[in-house]
């Protein structure tokens, strides 16, 4: 990636992370203020719109340097941000003690539960896939567990075989895996790289792969 592209990516990402922290102003006003500050080269004003989390990721000195060293690219980004193609959607994520995430959407001044919360076995993100996998195991829904098996490992595999694997001779070991996954989920950082993701848990790791837009459990040790 060229230096100018990296600068644009960092500045855009900083704003996205900054908005995640929440502001008293409405999102459109914050976006316009950030875009205007970038267009006019006012690095300090743009930086002030970022959340604490965003500022931890980039210092004011580094932010100023990017704005100063890439004036044309920064102005271009400012103009682009000033022309949003759709109204902003304000969301929030609440994580329960068991690691379960609940997404909410701000609609007409009131927080509403997002439609994604309806799917108990979602596979749209690596974390949701692991949560669904754990939930299916706890409920012994081996028919659901088949969904989490990558295509390359599905041949000859069905709910009965999965039940035998989890409740057979290795039942105690499998129970330890389940327990370790449940403990890891609330705070574990899932490393995502393209179509693959890794979740560390206990003394092992779980490997995930994305197929046809859905995350599946490829392996764990």
Percent composition of the chain: helix, strand, coil (DSSP 3-state, to 5): 50, 20, 30
Question: Residue range 202-206: average pLDDT?
Answer: 85
| pLDDT at position 163 | 92
Q: Strand pairing partners for 101?
A: 95
pTM for this predicted structure: 0.54
CB atoms within 10 A of CB 124: 14
Is it the case that residue 17 has pLDDT exceeding 50?
no
Closest C-alpha among 202, 219, 216 to residue 121: 216
Q: What is the pLDDT of residues 28-80, one digit of tens each?
A: 777 788 888 888 989 899 888 877 767 777 788 988 988 888 888 788 778 87
Between 7 and 147, name the one with better pLDDT.
Answer: 147
- Torsion, Cα 143 149 154 160, to 10 degrees, reads -30
Q: What is the pLDDT of residues 161-184, one digit of tens each?
A: 999 989 988 888 888 888 888 888
Is it the case that residue 218 has pLDDT exceeding 90?
yes
Between 97 and 152, name the one with better pLDDT.
Answer: 152
DSSP conformation class of 107: E
Between 73 and 3, name the one with better pLDDT.
Answer: 73
Question: Residue range 119-123: average pLDDT?
Answer: 83
Contact between 105 and 111 under an 8 Å Cβ cutoff? The reply is: yes
**Which helix or strand (DSSP H or E) is residue 210 part of?**
strand 204-211
Contact between 69 and 61 under an 8 Å Cβ cutoff? The reply is: no
Q: At what angle do helices 71-81 and 60-69 cross, to 10 degrees?
A: 100
Residue for token pair 């701000």:
106
Between 26 and 168, name the one with better pLDDT.
Answer: 168
Question: Residue range 201-207: average pLDDT?
Answer: 87
Q: Which positions ≥6 away from 15 have C-beta within 8 Å?
A: 31, 34, 49, 50, 54, 81
Contact between 104 and 112 under an 8 Å Cβ cutoff? The reply is: yes
Q: Which positions ≥6 away from 10 have C-beta within 8 Å?
A: 58, 66
131-159 exposure pattern, b = at least 16 Cβ within 10 A, e = fewer: bbbbbbbeeebbebbebbbbeeeeeeeee
Q: How confident is the model at residue 198 (pLDDT cuts 50, 70, 90)?
A: very high
């Amino acid at each position: 990636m060229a230096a100018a592209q990296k600068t644009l990516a960092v500045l855009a990402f900083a704003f996205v992370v900054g908005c995640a922290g929440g502001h008293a102003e409405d999102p459109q006003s914050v976006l316009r203020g950030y875009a205007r500050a970038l267009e006019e080269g006012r690095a300090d004003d743009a930086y002030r719109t970022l959340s604490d989390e965003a500022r931890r990721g980039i210092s004011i000195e580094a932010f100023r340097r990017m704005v100063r060293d890439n004036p044309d690219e920064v102005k271009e980004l400012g103009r682009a941000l000033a022309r949003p193609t759709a109204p902003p959607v304000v969301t929030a994520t609440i994580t329960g003690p068991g690691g379960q995430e609940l997404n909410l959407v701000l609609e007409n001044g009131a927080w509403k539960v997002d439609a994604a919360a309806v799917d108990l076995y979602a596979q749209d993100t690596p974390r949701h896939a692991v949560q669904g996998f754990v939930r299916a195991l706890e409920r012994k829904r081996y028919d659901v567990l088949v969904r989490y098996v990558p295509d390359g490992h599905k041949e000859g595999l069905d709910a009965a075989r999965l039940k035998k694997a989890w409740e057979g001779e290795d039942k105690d070991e499998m129970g330890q895996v389940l327990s370790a996954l449940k403990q890891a989920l609330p705070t574990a950082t899932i490393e995502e790289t393209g179509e693959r993701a890794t979740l560390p848990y206990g003394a092992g790791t779980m490997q995930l792969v994305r197929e046809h837009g859905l995350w599946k459990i490829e392996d764990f040790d």
